[in-house]
Amino acid sequence: MKNLFWLLSIGAITILTACSTKTNTSKEKQTFKVTTPLLKDTSYTQNYVAEIHALQHVEIRSRVNGFIESQLVDEGQKVKKGQVLFSINNSQFVQNLQKAKAATQSAEAELRSAEIELEGAQQLLDKNFISQAEYNITQAKVEALKAKLQEAKAEEAQAELHLSFAQVRAPFDGFINRIPLKIGSIVEEGDLLTTISNNQEMFAYFNVSEVDYLKYIASTKEDKRTLSLILADGSRYPHQGVIETVESEFDNNTGTIAFRAKFPNPDNVLKHGATTKVQLEEQVKNAILIPQKVTFEQQEHLCVFVVDKQNRLQIRKVKPSFRLPHLIAIKEGLSPKDKILYEGLQYVKEGDTINTELVSFSQFN
């Protein structure tokens, strides 16, 4: 009976050993696809949140006291430069102007009378009928009346100016915005009547980090760089813009610097105060590209499996530069000659020796 037990035990061990050997042999014979990074010139886009500002956007305020007598435009209406927008009650200004004109006419009459007297005094002085002092007095009277006339004319001009302020006009072509005060509202000097925007062209202001700013400076050869605009609904604005200027200093609180781009706005799609995204394309020479699927994360580091000369797997930490659809550009950690594991990452571990099949990048790019 004991002999039978030992025979059965030896048979079971033999069968298990054979199965284990078969399994190891199967794993050793499994082939994994590997590839090498692609070295090529490429480009990628950077998105920045941007605020849209009109080319001109100003507040229209009352320059006189009174009440709004008429409102000649509506909110959202397009107006021309010089067009009357509001009329403020002007009866008082009309009266002031009439009074100023009357004062001017009176000063002119007094001056003409004094000039006639001066001519007579000159004749009398020539005949020694009056003294030089008397003549000088008459001459001084004429000079005083000339000054009085100038003062009257200045007051008349000021009255005309105040009267013109009662007619509120558009300072440039543009669109009228919100009108907070309606007809009949009492206004004082400085009260806001509305705002007007010139939307023919629009500015996009966006902030760029110091790193991206230095990249921009290094890659910019032409005077102005073009860029695209992504609207709030995700659609692309049909017109390209250009970067016009960069501010002269960084914001110490955010570590960014402001850029300003200009976009044409022929269809009046862009509005002052809108929030969009600008998309700036960056050109990169000799970028090292790998498929995204070959990467994995280990302790918050991006890693790949690198195959050495003995076909042994090593984990390599890499630093990405930017991402493209299905691809990652590597800044540090890989060279174009490195072989990286393309498939089967979940079946292997560091230190495994595998059979490899080199796959060209073009087969999956």
pLDDT at 223: 59
Q: What is the mean pLDDT of residues 61-78?
A: 93
User: What pLDDT, on a 0 to 100 scale, did the predictor assign at position 162?
Assistant: 82
Q: Domain check: are 105 and 132 in the same one?
A: yes
CATH number at residue 143: 2.40.50.100
Last residue of one domain, picked from the residues 238, 261, 284: 284
User: How many domains does the chain fold into?
Assistant: 3
pLDDT, mean of residues 73-78: 94
Longest CA–CA span in the chain (Å) reads 175
Q: What is the pLDDT of residues 14-68, one digit of tens each?
A: 544 444 444 444 445 578 999 999 988 888 888 999 999 999 999 999 999 989 9
CA quadruple 170, 172, 177, 182: dihedral, nearest 10: 0
The SS3 assignment for 4 reads: helix
Does 344 reside within a domain? yes
pLDDT at 217: 83
DSSP of 324-335 = ETTEEEEEES--
Q: State which H helix or E strand residue 237 sits in.
A: none
Nearest CA among 318, 324, 326 for reference residue 297: 318
pLDDT in tens, 256-285: 999 999 999 999 999 999 999 999 887 788
Distance of alpha carbon 117 from the chain centroid: 71
The predicted pLDDT at position 286 comes to 87
Residue-wise pLDDT tens digits, 186-205: 999 999 999 999 999 999 99
Contacts 24+ apart (CB under 8 A), 228-236: 228/278, 228/279, 228/281, 229/50, 229/204, 229/263, 229/270, 229/276, 229/277, 229/278, 229/279, 230/47, 230/276, 230/277, 230/278, 230/279, 231/269, 231/276, 232/274, 232/275, 232/276
> Does residue 19 lie in a domain region?
no
* pLDDT digits 0-9 by tens, 318-356: 999 888 888 999 999 999 999 999 988 999 999 999 998
Calculate the alpha carbon distances from 53 to 22, 171, 175 in Å: 73, 18, 13
Angle in degrees, 0-180, between the axes of helices 132-165 and 91-126, rounded to the nearest 10: 160
Q: In angstroms, how far is CA 150 from the centroid of its own chain?
A: 51
Whole-number pLDDT of residue 239? 95
Q: Of 237, 265, 284, which marks where a domain is finished?
A: 284
Overall average pLDDT of the 226-247 stretch: 93
Give domain status of residue 8, yes or no.
Answer: no
- Residue 184 vs residues 40, 63, 74: alpha-carbon distances, Å: 70, 17, 16
**pLDDT per residue over 101-149, tens digit each?**
898 898 888 889 888 888 888 888 788 888 888 888 888 988 898 898 8
Question: Do 138 and 78 have their domain in common?
Answer: yes
Check pLDDT > 60 for residue 6. no
Pair 270, 307 in one domain: no
- Domain boundaries, position 166: 59-193
Clarify whether residues 278 and 290 are in a common domain. no
Three-state DSSP class for 155?
helix
Answer yes or no: are the C-beta atoms of 111 and 149 closer than 8 Å: yes
Instruction: Read off φ and ψ for residue 71, nearest 5 degrees.
Output: -120, 115
The answer to whether residue 328 sits within a structural domain is yes
pLDDT of residue 364: 54
Q: What is the pLDDT of residue 130?
A: 81
Q: Which pLDDT score is estimated for 61?
A: 95
Q: Is the pLDDT of residue 228 over 50?
A: yes
Write down the pLDDT at residue 25: 44
CB 338 within 8 A of CB 37: yes
User: Which CATH number goes with the domain that contains 272?
Assistant: 2.40.30.170
Average pLDDT estimate for 56-84: 94
Query: Does 272 lie in the same domain as 180?
Result: no
Quick one: 280 and 292 in the same domain? Answer: no
Q: Of 297, 317, 298, give the one whose Cα is nearest residue 306.
A: 317
Percent above pLDDT 90 for the chain = 51
Q: What is the mean pLDDT of residues 203-216?
A: 91
Confidence of residue 363 (pLDDT cuts 50, 70, 90): low
Q: Are residues 112 and 210 in the same domain?
A: no
Does a structural domain hold residue 229? yes
pLDDT attached to residue 48: 94
Residues contacting 60, CB < 8 A, separation 6+: 85, 168, 170, 171, 192, 193, 194, 195, 196
Q: What is the CATH number of the domain that holds 295?
A: 2.40.420.20
Contacts of 357 (CB under 8 A, 6+ apart): 31, 32, 33, 34
pLDDT tens column, 147-200: 988 998 898 888 888 888 888 999 999 999 999 999 999 999 999 999 999 999
Q: Does residue 274 share a domain with residue 205?
A: yes
Domain co-membership, 83 together with 102 = yes
22 located within any domain: no
Residues 67, 185: one domain?
Answer: yes
Residues 151 and 81 in one domain: yes
User: How much is the average pLDDT of 223-227?
Assistant: 78
Domain boundary among the residues 284, 301, 323 is at 284
Specify if 11 maps to a domain.
no
Q: What is the pTM of this model?
A: 0.67
Within this chain, do residues 168 and 213 fall inside the same structural domain, yes or no? no
Mean pLDDT along residues 305-311: 92
Domain membership flag for residue 150:
yes
